């Protein structure tokens, strides 16, 4: 019998005998499932945040920030600079011929959590009439839209769910200024649902400011971005950074998701060490239980390669169902489960790439767990193993 035939025969015998070792196999399977389930669940935090931030992401929109500003709320763009930006080449015009360039006043304000009464910082965006024209998915789901020149605001549904005094009709004090909540908006699950929104000029006046923090621009096409950016960055009257909307979103969330993913992999890695030892013990027990069988096969001419492969395949086939069970549990328990973290509410996302990561994680555990026992099986002394009872 050739080597492949030997491998198939020994592997089949190994799997048929798995029923006799079902208890130890289930312990390993459950351990792998726990590792995969916990790892995927933790990684789903970063995936959910990335997915939420990517809602409405578009390459035909650009964001203009003050040069060197790490985030929108750190910028300062004057009304005269806004006018220059609006007339730059590549800016799309609406039906009335007005450039679709929306200056935004961004303020970070402190609100109170419903859950524990603690404080948190959220974004308060002052926008103009072009904001709803550029974001047609924003819908008022309770109350009405704010009016200009009045201390009225609307609140995202995620913010309303998380913080106090944000229902329609409530009054909330923001840096000493009393605002009336007149509406609640939804935006198809976008990150903006965690913010407050009001008239831009009213926000500037209320917080004693005379400059905007960013300008969101609708371009004629994605290809117009380079021309638009070059026109602004080469203009001596401006000192700005220009980024695609999609690029800016990824940069804002990049460091946070890196930290979240590190935590997920670290905790998963620590648990995986325990699962590896469990798999090793299981496979060593399997080798001991099959000692006479393995020795008999070696005595009649089966090679060590067939034995090694059979043990490795058994180890991997124990780990693989564990991965599927863990991934399914993570999906059923946590996919679309809304959590609140870093002042934001967003749903977790158990995505196909995370499931693939969990399966790879499990196969690595199975491979490591079966490697040493497979070597031991191939090196069993034939004579002593045949005399074993």
Q: What is the pLDDT of residues 71-82, one digit of tens each?
A: 777 788 999 999
Mean pLDDT value of segment 302-319: 74
**Prediction pTM value:** 0.68
Q: What's residue 341's pLDDT?
A: 61
Q: For 17-52, how does the pLDDT look when each residue is reduced to its tens digit (9 = 90+)? A: 666 667 777 877 888 888 889 889 888 888 887 787
Q: Which residue has the higher pLDDT, 85 or 30?
A: 85
Mean pLDDT estimate for the chain: 82
pLDDT in tens, 267-299: 878 887 877 777 777 766 766 666 666 666 666
Q: Chain centroid to CA 215: how far?
A: 27
Tell me what percent of the residues of the chain surpass a pLDDT of 70.
Answer: 80
More confident of the two residues 205 and 24: 205
Structure tokens that stand for 108 in this block: 């970070």
Q: Structure tokens of 268?
A: 């998963």
Distances (CA, A) of 311 to 111, 233, 280, 380, 388: 59, 63, 11, 13, 20
pLDDT, mean of residues 313-329: 86
Q: Are 315 and 375 in contact (CB under 8 A)?
A: no
Tell whether the model's pLDDT for residue 245 goes beyond 80. yes
Q: How confident is the model at residue 166 (pLDDT cuts 50, 70, 90)?
A: very high
> Is the confidence at residue 1, as pLDDT, over 60?
no
CA gap 345, 166 in Å, rounded: 15
CB 357 within 8 A of CB 40: yes
Distance CA 376, CA 283 (A): 10
Band of residue 171 on the pLDDT scale cut at 50, 70, 90: very high
Domain ranges of the chain: 3-54+253-387, 68-238
Token look-up 């099959």 returns: 290
Distances (CA, A) of 97 to 81, 86, 92, 155: 20, 12, 9, 30
pLDDT number for residue 289: 61
> Given the DSSP bridges, would you call strands 119-127 and 196-199 parallel, antiparallel or unpaired?
parallel
- DSSP-assigned states of every residue in 133-197: HH-TT-EEEEE-PPPTTSSEEEEEHHHHHHBSS-STT-EEEETTEEEEEEEEEE-TT-GGGGSEE
Q: Give which of 276, 112, 127, 264 is closest to 198, Cα–Cα.
A: 127
Determine the 3-state secondary structure of 121 from DSSP: strand
């Amino acid at each position: 019998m050739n080597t492949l035939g030997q491998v198939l025969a020994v592997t089949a015998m190994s799997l048929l005998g798995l029923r006799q070792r079902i208890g130890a196999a289930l312990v390993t399977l459950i351990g792998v499932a726990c590792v995969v389930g916990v790892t995927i669940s933790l990684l789903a935090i970063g995936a959910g945040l990335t997915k939420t931030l990517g809602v409405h992401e578009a390459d035909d929109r650009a964001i203009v920030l003050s040069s060197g500003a790490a985030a929108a709320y750190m910028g300062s763009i004057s009304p005269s600079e806004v006018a220059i930006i609006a007339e730059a080449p590549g800016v799309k015009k609406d039906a009335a011929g007005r450039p679709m360039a929306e200056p935004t006043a961004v303020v970070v304000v402190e609100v109170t959590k419903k859950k524990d009464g603690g404080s948190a910082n959220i974004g308060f965006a002052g926008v103009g009439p072009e904001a709803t024209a550029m974001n047609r998915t924003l819908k008022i789901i309770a109350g009405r839209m704010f009016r200009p020149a009045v201390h009225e605001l609307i609140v995202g549904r995620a913010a309303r769910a998380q913080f106090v005094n944000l229902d329609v009709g409530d009054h909330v004090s923001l840096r000493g200024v009393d605002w009336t909540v007149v509406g609640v908006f939804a935006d198809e699950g976008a990150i903006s649902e965690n913010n407050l929104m009001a008239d831009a000029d009213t926000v500037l006046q209320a917080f004693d400011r005379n400059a905007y923090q960013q300008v969101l621009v609708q371009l004629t096409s994605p290809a117009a971005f380079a021309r638009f950016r070059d026109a602004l960055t080469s203009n001596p009257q401006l000192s700005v950074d220009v980024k695609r909307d999609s690029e800016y979103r990824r940069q804002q969330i990049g460091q946070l998701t890196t930290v979240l993913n590190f935590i997920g992999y670290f905790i998963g890695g620590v648990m995986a060490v325990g699962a590896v030892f469990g798999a090793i013990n299981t496979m060593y027990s399997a080798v001991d239980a099959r000692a006479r069988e393995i020795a008999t096969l070696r005595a009649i001419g089966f090679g060590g390669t067939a034995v090694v492969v059979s043990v490795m395949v058994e180890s991997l086939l124990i780990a693989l169902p564990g991965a599927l069970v863990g991934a399914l549990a993570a999906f059923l328990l946590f996919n679309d489960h809304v959590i609140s973290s870093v002042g934001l509410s967003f749903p977790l996302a158990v995505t196909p790439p995370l499931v693939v990561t969990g399966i790879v994680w499990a196969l690595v555990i199975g491979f490591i767990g079966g490697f040493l026992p497979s070597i031991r099986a191939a090196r069993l002394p034939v004579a002593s193993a045949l005399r074993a009872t």
